[in-house]
Amino acid sequence: MDFKKTIFLLVKWILICALIGLFSGSASAFLLVALEWAAQLRTHHIWLIGLLPIGGLLIGLLYHYHGKDVLKGNNLLLEEYRLPQKVIPFRMAPFVLIGTIFTHLFGGSAGREGTAVQMGGAIADQFTKIFHLDNSDRKTLLILGISAGFASVFGTPLAGAIFALEVILSSKFSLKSAVLSFVVAYFAFYTVELWGVHHTIYSIPVVPTLTLHNLFWLIPSCVLFGLAAMLFSRSTHFWGSLFSKKITYPPFRPLIGGLLLAVAFYSFDATKFMGLGVPYIVEAFSKPNEYYDFLLKILFTGFTLGAGFKGGEVTPLFFVGATLGSALSVFIPLPIALLAGMGFVAVFSGATHTPVACTVMGIELFGIESAVFIAIACFIAYLASGSVGIYHSQNPRGVKYLLYEKIKAGRLKYF
C-alpha cells in the first residue's frame, strides 16, 4: 500500500469516527437531558404513572406497524456484526429514543444504555452507504456505534471502547476496529462535554488494604453479585417469553404490562423502583439498603422490559448491584461505599459477560485506588453468573463456557 493511499484511509476513518462521535454523542446528550426532564416531570406529577398503559400501547403500536425490523434492538446489532445482511434502518434511533422517553416519563423501570447503543449503532451503520463500505468495514462501523453510544451515555470512554470489543468477542475483530473504537469513544465523550451535559459522580472514599481477612469476606459477596446478575438475566428473558406466549397481539403486551405496573407502583408505594433510580444508587454508597431492594428492582425491570417497554438494562443493573452491596455492608465488615461500588460494576459484568470493560469502568468512575477490589469483583461475578446473559444474540466463549458445556452434558455438577 502506497503512502498516499495510507494517508487517505487514515483521514477517512478519522473523519468517520469524528462524525459518528459527534452525532452519537449529541444523541446521547439529548437522551440524558430528556430523561432528566421526564424524571422531574413524573416526580412532580405522580399521576403520570396512571398513563403508563397508554404509553405502553403507543410504543407497542409504533414498533408493531413501523418498527418490526428494528424490534430486536441491541441483539440486532450483534446479529448484524456476526452475519452482515443489510444496513440497520435509521428509524431504530428515533424509535428507541421516543420509546425510552415514554417509558421513563410514565414510570417504567428501565435504563438508558440500550437506547444509546442502538442510536449509536443505527447512526454509524448509515455511513456504510455514504462511504461505500464493504461488509468487513461495516463490522467496524457497528463496533464504533456501540463504543460511541456506551462511552457518551455513561461518560466512560475507555470502558465504552472495550465494551464494544468485548461484547462481540465471540467473533473476530481487526486491529483497526480496536484502535478506532477508542478514537470514536473519545469523540463521543467530548461531544457530550461540549453540550454541557454532566454525568453522575460516584466515589469510594475509603479503600482498605487487601488482606486475607478482607479477601475472606470479598469472595462470597462477589459470588452473590454474580448470582444477582444471573437472576436479572433470567428474569428479563422469562417475562419476555411469558408476554410473547400469553399475549399474541404485540401492542397489547406493554398495555397490559403497563396497567399491572401502574397498579403495583400505586398500591405498594414502589416509586423508588421507577425509571433509572440514580438518586437511590448514589444513596446506596452511604446508607444501607433494605435486603429486598435489589430483588424488587430485578422484578420491576424484568417485567417492564419483558412487556415491551424501551430503555436498557445497565443502569438497573447498577441499581441492583449497588443496593445489594449496600445491604451486605450490614453483615460484611467492608466499607459500604466499596461494597456498593463493587456491586455496581460486578452485577453488570456478570449480566453482560464483559469483566474487562466493567473493571475499567469501575476505575474510571471510582478511581484507581479501588482497582484491585473492582477487578476481583467483576471477574468472580462473571464466573458465578451462569451462561445466560441479557443479550440473546451474544455468543460469548472462553474457559467459563467450556465448563458450562460440560455441566450441560452431565460431566460436571453445578449447584
DSSP string for 167-221 = TTTTS---HHHHHHHHHHHHHHHHHHHHTT--PPP----------HHHHHHHHHH
Say which residues have a Cβ less than 8 Å from residue 180's Cβ, sequence separation at least 6. 13, 17, 140, 143, 144
Amino acid 354 reads T
Q: Where in the chain is the domain with CATH 1.10.3080.10?
A: 3-194, 212-406
Q: Does domain 212-406 have CATH number 1.10.3080.10?
A: yes
Burial code (b: 16+ CB inside 10 Å, e: under 16) for 276-306 equals bbbebbbbbbeebbeeebbbbbbbbbbbbbb
What is d(CA 308, CA 102) in angstroms, rounded to the nearest whole number? 12
**Cα 408 from chain centroid?**
28
Instruction: Per-residue pLDDT tens, the chain, 415 aa: give them.
Output: 588 888 999 999 999 999 999 999 999 999 999 999 999 999 999 999 999 999 999 999 999 999 999 999 999 999 999 889 999 999 999 999 999 999 999 999 999 999 999 999 999 999 999 999 999 999 999 999 999 999 999 999 999 999 999 998 766 778 899 999 999 999 999 999 999 999 999 999 999 999 999 999 999 999 999 999 999 999 999 999 999 999 999 999 999 999 999 999 999 989 999 999 999 999 999 999 999 999 999 999 999 999 999 999 999 999 999 999 999 999 999 999 999 999 999 999 999 999 999 999 999 999 999 999 999 999 999 999 998 899 988 776 555 655 555 555 655 454 3
**3-194: in CATH 1.10.3080.10:** yes
Distance, CA of 14 to CA of 23 (rounded, Å): 14
CB neighbours of residue 40 within 10 Å:
10
